[in-house]
Amino acid sequence: SQQGEEDPQALSIQEGENATMNCSYKTSINNLQWYRQNSGRGLVHLILIRSNEREKHSGRLRVTLDTSKKSSSLLITASRAADTASYFCATDSYSGAGSYQLTFGKGTKLSVIP
Amino acid sequence: NAGVMQNPRHLVRRRGQEARLRCSPMKGHSHVYWYRQLPEEGLKFMVYLQKENIIDESGMPKERFSAEFPKEGPSILRIQQVVRGDSAAYFCASSPLGDPTNQPQHFGDGTRLSIL
């Protein structure tokens, strides 16, 4: 089953509005990461939050992590049309096979309407 | 500084043929990861390699799939006797030399494999 599950699956907002995406996971983690994927392209790393951190900012991005609820949120403020993309959370946890693995959710498809 | 380079971008194969996907990590990166993505899905981990070593192949099917990262040259993901279900986008990622934990991964633009 999915380790990270994003919610909502799709989100459509007007330019200038804020976008909030949520991620829930099941097992203990080392860190949680958010990535963006434009159509037909690879993933671009946005932000990494460690398991002992609660909140992190990067430009217009704000990420929170609640390990007691096994959930994270990504907030994009003052959205722009260029923010249109799919956003994935990925949990980094020990695989039991010799390494830490990233496990991705199915993503939130964000559309920002100009 | 060039990013992660994958080639080819698109690959078409007939059932039963072999597919070879190549990945050159970012300069200075020694950890390579391969993922598979089906349409409308997230990425699924396949294998993690360092130079000349497979560290974790727990996500890779036991049959028909193999991966290598030789001392010289790119990492190769090889799929033998391809079937329709192998159609997907395959992504490679790399991370810097040293402890890979708490390091972001840098992704290539993927190879889209289509099986006829």
pLDDT in tens, A12-64: 999 999 999 999 999 888 899 999 999 989 999 999 999 999 999 999 999 99
Q: Measure CA of the first residue to CA of the last residue in chain B; give whole Å.
A: 37
What is the reported pLDDT for B74? 96
- Residue of A48, A88, A99 with shortest CB distance to B48: A99
For residue B58, which residues of chain A lie inside 8 Å, CB to CB?
Answer: 95-97, 101
For residue B4, which residues of chain A lie inside 8 Å, CB to CB?
Answer: 42
Cβ pair A2:B42 closer than 8 A? yes
Lookup result for tokens 């080819």: B8
Tokens of A102: 């990233």
Provide the sign of the torsion angle of the four alpha carbons B104, A77, A66, A7, taken in this order: negative
| Cα–Cα distances in angstroms (integers) from residue B81 to residues A70, A85, A97, B113, in the given order | 41, 34, 27, 13
Lookup result for tokens 């494999």: B113
pLDDT digits (tens, 9 = 90+) for B17-38: 999 999 999 998 989 999 999 9
A1 — pLDDT class (breaks 50, 70, 90): very low
> How many residues does the structure list for chain A?
114
Work out the mean pLDDT of chain B and round it to a whole number.
93
Cβ pair B109:A41 closer than 8 A? yes
Chain B: closest CA distance from residue A79 (Å): 23
For residue A50, which residues of chain B lie inside 8 Å, CB to CB?
Answer: 102
pLDDT digits (tens, 9 = 90+) for B79-89: 999 999 999 99
